Amino acid sequence: MTRESLREVYDLSKRTILLTGGAGFIGSHLADRLLSLGATVDVLDNFSTGYAHNIPKGVRNAWKEDVAAPPKLPAYDLIFHLACPASPPRYQADPVATFRTAVYGTVSMLEEARKNRSRILLASTSEIYGDPLEHPQKETYWGHVNPIGPRSCYDEGKRAAETIGTDYRRKYGIDLRIVRIFNTYGPRMDPFDGRVVSNFVRQALDNLPLTIYGDGSQSRSFCYVSDLVEGILRAGLVDRLDEPVNLGNPAEFTIKELTGLIEDVLGHPLKREFKPLPEDDPRRRRPDISRARALLSWTPEVSLRDGILRTLDDFRARHPFHPTDGTLP
């Protein structure tokens, strides 16, 4: 299944799709892609970490509502449930709201799926593996998560979302798909959301030192957003997907290597500033994507260098940055 052939294989012109979190970073790219395949797309988003201007013009309805208390919705063929803050400073700013969104928000979308026999895809996260003792992380790994730490509202919230989703499938036979998304970056990221790539790119363009937490030897894998969207799409459209699937780029880089790459791409030296490692920060993260390769014929294609170049172009076009919502980390 190539990207080009997807349009023929999956003609979405007769499908109505609800996209929660469609004003956010990943959701807005997914909305673009669904519209390009002919789908009718509605967005439900409370704009807590997303922006109205991210929602593409072709979207039919855009509701400004809380996913945990949704309005009366029409029946959809498919629900892509992405609504949830994803950046640590943002989700930690109101941990109760985060947990409520992750769990109650998921329950309300599962109810929609149950009532209308809609297929539903749940956006889970690599954070459900916590600070992993197994490397790289396979879907069979149960994780190493602190249930009462500052990241728990998100990590445990998403774990609970996977649990209740799987129980809805067991009890009601709903068609649920779970994707575990690893660190994703690209154009349209919020420059102030406190994620590592957006932080570094913003700081580099503002001639500020790059903030490195710890000594920078911790590793991450970075997936470019178009690759991720392709994986989400395939997970939502294949005939069956009964097991959770990791979506991420298995190429592993240390934070120090990432700063070096940005320096190299920009062509001038950048200063670094070191700060203490946040509590419960995972030391290593890398997806094992054998399952996605086998079940979705999916593999990321964009190198970190190319992805950073595209992200820099997008950030440059938006520079100087204006934190519009006052939630600077």
Applying CB under 6 A, does 292 fall inside the site for ligand NAD?
A: no
Candidate segments 78-86, 136-144, 249-257, 281-289, binder of ligand NAD by CB under 6 A: 78-86
Candidate segments 72-80, 143-151, 181-189, 272-280, binder of ligand NAD by CB under 6 A: 181-189
Applying CB under 6 A, does 67 fall inside the site for ligand NAD?
A: yes
Q: Give me the least distance between CB of 248 and ligand NAD, in Å please.
A: 8
What is the identity of the amino acid at 264?
A: D
Which class for 235: exposed (0-12), middle (13-18), buried (19 or more C-beta within 10 A)? Answer: buried
Q: Among 32, 42, 45, 112, which residue interacts with ligand NAD (rule: CB under 6 A)? A: 45
What is the identity of the amino acid at 151?
A: R
Applying CB under 6 A, does 66 fall inside the site for ligand NAD?
A: yes
Close Cβ partners of 283 (under 8 Å, ≥ 6 residues apart)? 131, 218, 219
Q: Among 18, 35, 79, 85, which residue interacts with ligand NAD (rule: CB under 6 A)? A: 85
What is the identity of the amino acid at 55?
A: I
Q: Give me the least distance between CB of 269 and ligand NAD, in Å please.
A: 28
Applying CB under 6 A, does 246 fall inside the site for ligand NAD?
A: no
Q: Is the bond into 287 cis (omega within 30 degrees of 0)? A: no
3-class SS at 133?
Answer: coil
Residue window 92-131: x/- pattern of binding to ligand NAD, with contact defined by CB under 6 A: ---------x---x-----------------x-x------
DSSP string, 248-317: S---EEEHHHHHHHHHHHHTS---EEEEPPPTT--S---B--HHHHHHH-------HHHHHHHHHHHHHH
3-class SS at 21?
Answer: coil
From 154, 168, 185, 224, active-site residue? 154
Told to judge if 154 belongs to the known catalytic residues of this protein, a careful annotator would answer yes
Residues noted as catalytic: 154
The residues binding ligand NAD (CB under 6 A) are 21, 23-27, 45-50, 66-68, 82-86, 101, 105, 123, 125, 181, 183-184
